[in-house]
Amino acid sequence: MKSASMGDLALSFRTNQLNTKLKTDLENLTVELSTGRKTEIAASVKGDLNPLISLERSLATIDSFSVANTEAALFASTLQASLEMAQDIATEMGQTLLGVNNTPETNAVQAASKDARMRFDSVVAGLNTQVTGRYVLGGTATDRPPLASADDIMASLSAAVTASGAVTADDVQTVVVAWFDTPGGGFETDAYLGSTTDLTPFRISDDEVAEMPLRADDQAIRDLLKGFAMASLVLTGVPGGDVNEQTSLLVKAGEDVFGASGTMSVARASLGATEARINTAAVRNSSEQAAMQLAYLEITSADPFETAAKLESVQLQLEALYTLTARAGNLSLVDYLR
């Protein structure tokens, strides 16, 4: 019976083909062992990549939520700090202004008004705070301060009071209230520089957003600024240089500042609730992300012990192939015919 044999060319081709495959397997297994990740994922899932694609898409989405959560939390905490600063100053200043009524004399009145003017600068600067290059109280206009400088606000307000001819505390208060509260009035044209559109909500999860609707033109902040500005007017000689009327104006300003401080507490409490929702969403997203990453690793991770065993097997096969190839290359015609 004749035996079939393979020609030299075919044998050479087959040997090279096997050599290439073993080298490729060796390289892939080496990469798997060093990285812990499978190199032939499609083969490991029998060609069904849909679960893996779905996990990758979900992980990318949660990553975007994580970025939004971080940004929203930073934005909210910065805004909270700004409001806290303004409220603390208002509480202290309100007590000072109301206390002037106990000592209605020129030096005390002037000192209280000067104190209010300096604190007005601090409040305006604090409300003009920004984070990561975005101003927090200007609505969608995050590229510029929401409020004009305290000097510019006082210049416009003083001009309005002077033009009105107000000579009593009641008259001055009427002008100040109109300047701050009238739609299209002095505050909206000369003081507030932001947008009348609220900031776009932060998307913090699949079905939840965090809104930041507070702006520097909201009534709570207007009332706060109104009290400080009213008290600051006394330094300009308003109303009429009469110490009793000035004392009365400072007391009215103190009442406004105290009232605004209480309203500010409500705004801060609402913002605090938003901060809590952001934190809750961040924790939930983190848990979902961890679960998805674990599922992803179960699909893509290579078992180090199994990989090491396969790597050793391939190395042995490659060594055996080299040995056989070398022996075949050393055969002589006489050896072949034996």
Pick the CATH number of 53-293 from 3.40.50.970, 1.20.1330.10, 3.90.1150.10, 1.10.3720.10: 1.20.1330.10
pLDDT mean by block of 10 residues, the chain; 338 residues: 51 68 66 63 60 79 89 95 94 92 85 95 96 94 97 96 92 96 96 95 91 93 95 89 91 92 90 94 88 75 66 69 66 48
Q: Is the dihedral of CA 183, 125, 270, 92 positive or negative?
A: negative
pLDDT per residue over 220-260, tens digit each? Answer: 999 999 999 999 999 988 887 789 999 999 999 999 998 99
Q: Is the dihedral of CA 82, 86, 88, 89 positive or negative?
A: positive
Mean pLDDT of the chain: 84
Proportion of the chain above pLDDT 90, given as a percent: 54
